[in-house]
Amino acid sequence: MMHGMHGMYGYGSIWMIVFWVILIGFGIYLVKRFINGDKNSVNKNNKNTPLQTLQERLARGEIDVEEYEHLKSIIKRDKD
């Protein structure tokens, strides 16, 4: 009994392979995007304001209080 081109070894199995390749590829894409997306979203959502960056630099000892106050006044002046 012949089933033509739609039998087990016809086009049906090719489409099943294509389906699984696409499905697995999409799964890999989603996993990579999730992993990389987390890193990118953290950087985008926690973007510091200039004043916060200045406060962090003071806390790390990169600048002294005098320089902090000077730069802070410039930042506030530029905001207005």
- Segment 39-65, tens digit of pLDDT: 554 455 567 888 899 999 999 999 999
Spatial separation of the C-alpha atoms in residues 52 and 37, rounded to whole Å: 24
8-50: pLDDT as tens digits: 566 678 888 999 999 999 999 999 888 887 555 445 556 788 8
Which pair of tokens denotes residue 78? 């530029």
The pTM of this model reads 0.41
Which pair of tokens denotes residue 12? 């049906």
At residue 66, φ and ψ (nearest 5 deg) are -60, -45
